[in-house]
A and B are shown apart, each in its own frame.
With several copies, the nearest count.
Chain A
Amino acid sequence: MPERGAASSSVRPASRADFVLRALAWGGMAVLGAGVCWIVGDVVLRGVRGVSLSFLLDAPARSGRDGGIAPVIVSTAIVIGTCMIVVIPSGVLAAVGLSECLRRGGRTAAVIRLGLDIVAGTPSIAFGLFGHAFFCAFLGLRVSLLSGGLTLACMVLPLFIRLCESALLGVPAGTRRAVDALALTRRTALRRVVLPIAFPGIVSAAVFSLARALAETAALLFTTGYMLRMPGSLLDPGRVLSVHIYDLAMNVPGGDPNAYATALVLLAAVLVIGLVPLRVRRVRADRLVIT
């Protein structure tokens, strides 16, 4: 007796054009997948010999050619942590505001989006110079982990807002009407209805933005600096993983092996963080309903 379930055959019927589309889509994915494998494979193959417990726990020596990357890991964690602490709440709120504006078809939203595009289109180096001028010099935070975290937050915020905003679009129109008609406060609407629906999207937006932040180099070179010392406070300078990789690869003759080892650590970090959204249950509204 046949039994039908989640793993059943495709829901959509097929045609010749469908086949072509399907082939194209898979082809695109395959090329991208191959690229990922190439990069990842390269990093793993060439970096794996360099990674060990002592590599993670020791201070670097000889400009990073020897020793470990403990201070680099600590600095990275602090910078990224600062960045995400700023980005997540303000980004979610901004996205909510933006999607409210958008619903009312306002021009404001359009202007804000343009602003986000401009920020996205600003080269890292410009952010580095901006961060240096604004946070380090103007606000007097010096070249420090804090300056770097804040600069990074400015860079990542537009991306996060855009991804969140799309996550919020997943709230069905009927649900919005129900919320309106029940005259729920915005707080309840967000906490009990909108955010739970958008939650998986927000988590994956955060992960994606975090990955992006981990990759940033030029902006941090100017704002968190270059120091390999273990940071003692938020106002100390430090060196993040991506800067370390860049420096080892570009400026330190003989730095390649440890550059690859560090890149492997960065990759592992992204991987671990990337696993988070898989643990998040989807609560897509009215997804289960056939009526």
Chain B
Amino acid sequence: GRDVPAAGAISGTITVTGSSTIAPLMVGLGARFEQFHPGVRVNVETGGSARGIIDVRSGLAHIGMVSRALRPEERDLTAHLLARDGVAVIVHAETRVGQIDREDLAGIFTGRITNWRDVGGPDRAITVVTKAEGRSTLEVFNGYLGIAAQDVKASVVIGDNQQGIKSVASMPAAIGYVSIGSAESAVAEGVAIRLLPLNGVPASSARVADGSFPLSRELNLVTGPAADLRVQAFISYCRSADARPLIEDAAFVPVDDR
């Protein structure tokens, strides 16, 4: 980065808190940053995006991790885009469906389409797995489909990505949506799910990176108005080329704004 202080020039503790999706990545980034600046301690805590925002506002944390775009009422905070996380539609590995488009997806999630036969699959009732309300993935997904939360007709509601993956893998007729990174590593581990191409675009981190995959969410670091040099240095480091391999390793898509 341009205005990055020299190694070892800063010291003190940086407290980062918020989204549990970003937390593991921040632990890694913090450890790397501490190597350059031995006087700095980066302490990561979690508790959800909401806690990230609350703790930054109250001054309990220097940086909040928020796995969605800031809302209008949160404009008092500054968001620093760290990475993007694609949202992939997943089905059980045995569900023979080639791809799916936005219309059909909306139909399935609003209960208009109830059988795989109607979207070119086997003759089997669809089990809809959706995320619990309040989750940022749900907001991104519903926003893309243009449907309201109360219209969703789901038979299973899940919280985290891993739960979504396990639910779909255990129900042969299920459809759901989870973070692309999680889904890709689950497939790599041999879990019985498949990522459905959306509108003909294959669901992969690469497609999220090149911007062609339509469904993704922002992963932000937010700071209050009084972010000091030390905090700015850490945020710049997180957005630097140095941090790229770590972000990719965490199955997220780094943003190219450097």
Q: Which of A63, A136, A251, A256 has the most CB of B within 10 A?
A: A251
The answer for the CA separation of A249 and B157 in the assembled complex, in Å, is 18
Q: Given the complex, which residues of B lie within 8 Å of A162, measured CB to CB? A: none
Q: Check A226 against B23 for contact (C-beta < 8 Å).
A: yes
**Contact indicator A250/B184 (Cβ below 8 Å):** no
In this complex, the interface size class of chain A, counting residues with CB under 8 Å from chain B, is: 20 to 34
Identify which of A143, A239, A249, A253 contacts B184 (C-beta below 8 A).
A253
Assess whether B24 is in contact with A254, with CB atoms less than 8 Å apart: no
- From 153 to 173 in chain B, residues with beta carbon under 8 angstroms from any chain A beta carbon are 154-163, 166-167, 170-171
Asked if A253 and B20 make an inter-chain contact with CB atoms under 8 angstroms apart, the answer reads: no
Given A132-B166, A251-B20: A222 touches B25 (CB 8 Å cut-off): no
Contacts between chains A and B (CB distance < 8 A), count:
121
A222 & B166 in contact (Cβ 8 Å cutoff): yes
Q: Which of B31, B171, B188 has the most CB of A within 10 A?
A: B31
- Report if B181 contacts A (CB, 8 A): yes
A250 in contact with B31 (CB, 8 Å):
no
Q: Which residue of B lies closest to A237 (CB)?
A: B43
Return chain A residues, CB-CB under 8 Å to B110. Answer: none
When the two chains form their complex, are residues A250 and B20 in contact, meaning their CB atoms are under 8 A apart?
A: yes
Most chain B CB within 10 A, of A62, A227, A228, is at: A227
Chain A's nearest CB lies how many Å from the CB of B171?
8
The answer to whether B163 and A228 touch across the interface, beta carbons within 8 angstroms, is no
> How many angstroms from the CA of A98 to the CA of B181 in the assembled complex?
49
B162 to chain A: which residues have CB within 8 Å? 249-251
Q: Within 8 Å of chain A (Cβ to Cβ): is B149? A: yes
Query: What is the bound-complex CA distance between A133 and B51, given in angstroms?
Result: 13
Complex-state Cα separation, A63 to B156, whole angstroms: 15
The answer, yes or no, to whether A225 is at the interface (CB within 8 Å) is: yes
A221 proximity list for chain B (CB < 8 A): 46-47, 159, 163
Residues of B within 8 A of A136 (CB): 170
Q: Judge whether B45 and A62 touch: CB under 8 Å.
A: no
B170 touches A132 (CB 8 A): yes
> How far is A53 from B161 in the complex, measured between Cα atoms in Å?
32
Q: Does B199 contact A (CB under 8 A)?
A: no
Interface residues of A in 233-254 (CB under 8 A from B): 237, 239, 247, 249-254
Task: Establish whether residues A226 and B27, one from each chain, have CB atoms under 8 Å apart when the complex forms.
Answer: yes
Asked if A226 and B46 sit within 8 Å, CB to CB, the answer is yes
Q: Does B135 contact A (CB under 8 A)?
A: yes
* Given contacts A250-B162, A251-B20, A254-B188, A222 and B47 within 8 Å (CB-CB): yes
Q: Is the CB of A253 within 8 A of B181?
A: yes
Contact check, B47 vs A63: say whether CB atoms are below 8 A apart.
Answer: no
Give bound CA distance, A239 to B249, whole Å: 21
Given A221-B159, A228-B157, A247-B24, A253:B185 Cβ within 8 A: yes
* Chain B minimum-CB-distance residue to A221: B159
Q: Are A63 and B25 in contact (CB under 8 A)?
A: yes
A142 to chain B minimum Cβ distance, whole angstroms, is 8
Q: Are A143 and B134 in contact (CB under 8 A)?
A: no
In angstroms, Cα B36 to Cα A160, docked, is 46
Known: A63-B27, A225-B158, A228-B27. A253 touches B182 (CB 8 A): yes
Pick the residue among A137, A227, A255, A256 that contacts B43 (CB under 8 A): A227
Give the residues from 126 to 182 in chain B that come closer than 8 angstroms, CB to CB, to chain A. Answer: 132-135, 149, 154-163, 166-167, 170-171, 179, 181-182
Task: Tell me the bound Cα distance from A133 to B167 in angstroms.
Answer: 10
Q: How far is the CA of A143 from the CA of B27 in the complex (A)?
A: 15
**Given A247-B132, A253-B134, A63:B48 Cβ within 8 A:** no
Provide the residues of chain A in CB contact with B133, threshold 8 Å.
Answer: 62-64, 228, 252
A229 within 8 A of B: yes
A247 lies within 8 A of B23 (CB): yes
Is B186's beta carbon under 8 Å from chain A? yes
- Interface residues in B76-132 by Cβ distance below 8 A to A read 132
Nearest-neighbor residue (CB-CB) of B155 within chain A: A237
Partner of A251, one of B60, B132, B166, B170: B132
Q: Which of B24-71 contact A (CB under 8 A)?
A: 24-25, 27-28, 31, 43-51, 53, 60
Q: In the docked arrangement, what's the CA distance between A96 and B184, Å?
A: 50
For residues 164 through 221 of chain A, which have their beta carbon under 8 Å from a beta carbon of chain B?
A: 221
Please determine whether A251 and B156 come into contact, CB atoms closer than 8 angstroms: no
Q: Could you write out 29 A-B pairs with CB less than 8 Å apart?
A: A62-B28, A63-B24, A63-B132, A63-B250, A64-B24, A132-B170, A143-B45, A222-B45, A225-B157, A226-B132, A226-B157, A226-B158, A227-B27, A227-B157, A229-B31, A237-B43, A247-B132, A249-B162, A250-B47, A250-B48, A250-B160, A250-B161, A251-B134, A251-B135, A252-B50, A252-B134, A252-B250, A254-B185, A255-B50
> A63-B27, A237-B157 known; 20 other A-B pairs, CB under 8 Å?
A62-B133, A63-B134, A137-B60, A137-B170, A143-B43, A221-B46, A221-B159, A222-B163, A222-B166, A226-B27, A226-B158, A226-B159, A237-B43, A249-B162, A251-B48, A251-B160, A251-B162, A252-B250, A253-B250, A253-B251
Those 4 A-B pairs whose CB atoms lie nearest each other, nearest first: A63-B133, A252-B134, A63-B24, A253-B185
